[in-house]
Chains A and B, each alone.
Chain A
Amino acid sequence: MTHGRTPLAFTEDGGLGRDMNPDVVSAIARLRRDNVLGQAQATLFDRVARRRLVSVRFEIRALLYAGVLLLTSGVGLLVKEHRQDIGPWAIAGGIALAAVACLVWVIRNAAPFSWGAVPSPNVAFDYVLLLGLLLFASDLAYVEVEFTLLGPKWPHHLLVVGVVYLLGAYLWDSRTILGLALTTLAAWRGVSISVIQGSLPAVNAGNLRVNAVVLGALYVAAAALSVRLERKAHFEEVFANAGLLLLLGGLVSGVFGSELNWGVWLAALLVVAGLVMWLSFPLGRSLYFAQGIVAVYVGLLRLLFEPFRHHVSGLPFFLAAVLGLGALVLILAAHRRMRER
Chain B
Amino acid sequence: MRPDSVAWERAAEVRAAAQGWRRVGAIDASTEQAIREAYPDPCITPSAVWRVLTACMVAAVVACTFGALSLAFRPDRAGLQVLMFMFAAVSLVATEVLEALPQCARRGAAGATSLLGVVFLLVGFSLFLLETLNMRFDDAIDTALLASVLAWAVSAWRWGSPPYAAAAAISLFLFLGRLPHGRVLWALVGVALAGLAARRLDEASWAPSHRRGAAILVVAGILAVYAAVNVYSFDEHLLEDLGRFGAARVAPSPSLIVVSALATAVVPLLVLMWGVRSRRTFVLDTGVVLLALSLVTLRHYVHLAPLWVILALSGAALVALALTVERALRGAPGGEIAGVTADPLFADERQQRAFQIVPVVAAFTAPVAAPEEKGFAGGSGRFGGGGAEEKF
Contacts and interface: CB of A to CB of B under 8 A. Distances in A.
B13 A158 contact: no
Interface string A301-341: 00000000000111101101100110110011001000010
Contacts of A158: 366, 369, 385-386
Interface string A170-213: 00000110011001101111111011110001010000000000
A231 interface: no
A27 B365 contact: no
B386 A287 contact: no
Interface stretch (A123-131, A217-225, A265-273): A123-131
Contacts of B341: 3, 53-57
Given A67-B319, A73-B315, A190-B370, A55 B204 contact: no
Given A45-B26, A49-B17, A190 B71 contact: no
Interface string B321-351: 1110110011001111001111111110100
A31 B279 contact: no
B252 interface: no
Contacts of A122: 326, 330
Interface SS of chain B: helix
A39 to B, nearest CB: 13
A138 B340 contact: no
Contacts of B57: 297, 324, 327-328, 331
Query: Which one of B60, B329, B352, B381 has the greatest number of beta carbons of chain A within 10 Å?
Result: B60
B288 A161 contact: no
B374 A154 contact: yes
Contacts of A259: none
B204 A194 contact: no
A279 interface: no
Interface in A139-167: 139-142, 144-145, 154-155, 157-158, 161, 165
Contact of B202 (A2, A21, A75, A175): A21
Interface residues of B, number: 115
B387 A141 contact: yes
Interface SS of chain A: helix
Nearest to A75: B312
Interface in B56-114: 56-58, 60-61, 64-65, 67-72, 107
B43 to A, nearest CB: 14
Nearest to A328: B57
Nearest to B15: A27
B346 A48 contact: yes
Query: Which one of A70, A186, A190, A294 has the greatest number of beta carbons of chain B within 10 Å?
Result: A70
Given A23-B208, A318-B65, 18 more contacts: A2-B335, A3-B343, A6-B333, A16-B204, A18-B202, A64-B322, A67-B316, A76-B388, A161-B386, A187-B368, A192-B365, A201-B370, A294-B53, A297-B60, A317-B67, A327-B57, A328-B58, A331-B54
9 contacts: A1-B24, A23-B14, A24-B13, A68-B315, A72-B390, A123-B322, A195-B362, A238-B357, A321-B65
